[in-house]
Structure 1
Amino acid sequence: MQPPTGTPPIPYAGYHAGPRRVLVLNLRRGLVSGPSVTVNIDGNDYPQRWGRAAFEIPGDRPVAVAVFQSLRGRQAGLATTVLAPGAPPELEYRGPAHLAMAGELGLPGTVRQRGLAIQSVLLGCLGLVLLFLLLFFIVILTSA
């Protein structure tokens, strides 16, 4: 897989004298997300914007890849994987819908957004509370 058009891959930060290849990451936002995301490759952090990013990685050994968001000084939406030497060099990260959940990192088209049911229930409860408050104030104002 080729890196995003016109963008050279980010060089590998660790020492590696062997063959290298390019890992393309498609970084997709969750329902709740910060302005940026951090990609960690073999212990080295690379702050990134949402979208596609390309990284130079060793081609002859497993590579640890982690992706997370930093929100209010906390790590959220962490997802990790180990990319084997023969594995396809393209991954997709999907941030969670609810920050208490983990993100998901995998082959493109196979990842889902975790926490969507929890977020839907919470928003539904908030809507019901607001509806009951509105009805309560209507009853109070019409009975006066």
Structure 2
Amino acid sequence: MSTTGTATRRIELTLHKPWFALYARIRPTLVIAGRGQPAQWGLGTWQVPADQTVVVGVFLFNRMWRFGQAEFALEPGHPPALLYKAPALPFLRGRIAVTDHTRAAA
């Protein structure tokens, strides 16, 4: 996603499955600045521009429908950790929030 000469930073996004779901085989998709990519449940890191506001979105899909959409405008001053919580029912929206928790630097 980076271009030559553009400063970037890493963000962490934790994708939480719903604690109880009647639907099976759901897969999350991450959308950063309009570009979608498959993701996995749990913690992942992505690279975004350091000096720009970037819209981060997540939606879920199974073989039949798309649901659980949530978006967040991540600004340069925000902490680099986000949390997505999937809805318990397939007709509800998901939630994305900034968290203060980041992994300890190795």
TM class by shorter chain equals: 0.7 to 0.9
Q: Does structure 1 residue 21 correspond to structure 2 residue 38?
A: no
Structure 2: runs of 5+ lacking an equivalent = 101-106
Q: 1:82 deviation in Å?
A: 0.6
Q: 1:18 deviation in Å?
A: 1.8
Q: 1:21 deviation in Å?
A: 0.3
Structure 1: runs of 5+ lacking an equivalent = 1-11, 110-144
Q: 1:35 deviation in Å?
A: 4.0
Residue 68 of structure 1 corresponds to 59
Name the one with the larger helix percent. 1
Q: 1:16 deviation in Å?
A: 6.3
Q: 1:17 deviation in Å?
A: 3.1
Q: TM-score, normalised by structure 1?
A: 0.62
Could you tell me which of 26, 30, 42 is aligned with 1:51?
Answer: 42
State the Cα deviation string for residues 17-74 of structure 1 (Å, max 9, x = none).
Answer: 3210001000000122634210000011110110011001000000010001012332
Q: TM-score, normalised by structure 2?
A: 0.82
Letter in 1 for 2:8: R
Name the one with the larger strand percent. 2
Distance in 2 separating the partners of 1:101 and 1:15: 36
Conserved 8 A contact 2:78-2:98:
no
Letter in 2 for 1:69: L
Task: Give me the identity figure in percent.
Answer: 29
Higher relative contact order (CA 8 A, sep 6+): 2
Q: Which has the higher Rg, Structure 1 or Structure 2? A: 1
Letter in 2 for 1:42: A
How many aligned residue pairs are there? 97
Distance in 2 separating the partners of 1:63 and 1:80: 10
Residue 92 of structure 2 corresponds to 101
Cα-Cα RMSD: 1.8
User: Could you say what secondary structure the match of 1:39 adopts?
Assistant: strand
